[in-house]
Amino acid sequence: MRIVFLGPPGSGKGTQAQVIARSLGIPQISTGDLLREAADKGTPAGTKAQEYMERGALVPDSIVIELVREAISNGDQFILDGFPRTLEQATTLDDVLEEMNLALDAVISIDVPLDSLVERLSGRLTCPECNAIYHTSYNPPRQKGLCDTCGEDLYQRADDTPGAITHRFEIYKKQTTPLIQYYKDKGTLITLDGTRSIDEISAEVGGIITRLEKDHGVQRSYPSR
Ligand code: AMP
């Protein structure tokens, strides 16, 4: 299965990508996570990327595309989260997949009005170890401030600040929303109402995957979380 999750910052695409990748037992490739890891390690690409990420700007395509190319070369199934974010990235992804004789099964776009997302982003907490995502009100960890899975101290991302959030929304509107039409034209776009609970959306994503697998002749059913 090869799926792309599309949606504005805070739409829940990372959470849904994690849930479905775990259910399917295939990698979730989050360019945000890959870039943060590279920045933490202090690699040249990571150090350069960090300057852009802190401002809420897009990291140059040359860096991001290289990371994705490497990540998808390890297997023919994946869930992409946060990539592509520009038309150029989308066409490059098409070319890379074509070289591998592969294609995307679906692009799942999580639709949420931007004005409801500031609260979601400012309450978001992330695990530095496993990248699990929580929210202080909507999806709190069992023990305050600690990851349910690894027990690590959760942190608030440096780009979940009001200034960076505004900039990320502007970039999303300008650079990423054209992808909705791009994938609509290709017939791979599936749009979900992202204003519902995590479990409701997961159930719908599970149904979509089951339908896609049926088309591929695979039969399974998915637990939601
Ligand atoms: P995310 O974790 O998906 O919210 O991404 C965090 C930040 O990483 C973004 O605000 C960008 O600075 C950078 N980033 C992630 N994915 C991409 C991408 N596909 N293209 C450019 N920059 C990206």
Local confidence pLDDT in tens for the 225 residues of the chain: 999 999 999 999 999 999 999 999 999 999 999 999 999 999 999 999 999 998 889 999 999 999 999 999 888 899 999 999 999 999 999 999 999 999 999 999 999 988 889 888 989 999 999 999 999 998 999 999 999 999 999 999 888 888 888 889 999 999 999 999 999 999 999 999 999 999 999 999 999 999 998 887 765 555 545
Ligand 1: residues whose CB is within 6 Å?
9, 31-32, 35, 52-53, 56-59, 64, 82-83, 85, 89, 159, 168
- The dihedral region occupied by 12, where left means phi > 0, alpha psi between -120 and 50, and beta the remainder, is left
At 218 the pLDDT is 67
Angle, helices 31-41/61-72, rounded to nearest 10 degrees: 110
The rounded distance, in Å, linking the Cα atoms of 156 and 6 is: 22
Q: Find where tokens 């591998």 sit.
A: 100
**22 part of the active site:** no
Q: Which atom of ligand 1 is nearest to the CA of 84?
A: 19
**48 part of the active site:** no
SS3 147: coil
pTM, two decimals, is 0.89
At 224 the pLDDT is 45
Task: Indicate which residue of 85, 142, 173, 184 is catalytic.
Answer: 85
At 31 the pLDDT is 97
